[in-house]
Structure 1
Amino acid sequence: PPRKSTRGNPPPPLIQDTVNCMIQESVEAAIRAERERVQNEANRAEGHNVAPVAKECTFADFMKCSPITFRGNEGAAEKKVMMTKEFCPPEEIQRMEGEL
């Protein structure tokens, strides 16, 4: 009797149209899966696990957090001027403008 081949028939060669179709199907499946995941996340957010609304912070609540004490009597405008002088000296800015 003739011997049977254990290899079977080789798969048909892939045609470009077949490859494009396979890619399209896998992309569509990935998009569907991502949409389902996003929808599940949205559904979960509507349930009883919704984050609580932030409560009002009073001065007493703020002081309980032990804020760093502010040393100085200047306002915001004076601090801005001081920081500009400290970190952006006019000579340095002129030098950089000259380089441009």
Structure 2
Amino acid sequence: MSGAPRPPFPRGCGLLQRAWEKAYRDHRRKVQDARPLVDTCAPPTFPHLHLRLKRLKLEQERLSAIERDNRLLLERVARVMRTRGQTGSRAGPTRRRNRN
């Protein structure tokens, strides 16, 4: 190999030099054959992060409280409509005395 750097082994050790040159040729071949690899897929999504069970539970409790309040309010309005808006006292309006 003309462009390859020389190994630090002495010339007399041909077996080691051939093994090193074979390993180096294999390495250079692998580097030349390497293809770029880019990961273009989306990151993994985990369903427990999107479901949010605690938030759903709190929303359900909030809606049930609103429904209960609406039902109570509707009952009060219906009671007022049935009794034609009468107050609990049957006595007529009383006048207050002016204290001078």
TM-score computed with the length of structure 2 as normaliser: 0.37
* Larger RCO of the pair (alpha carbons < 8 Å, separation 6+): 2
Whose radius of gyration is greater, 1 or 2? 2
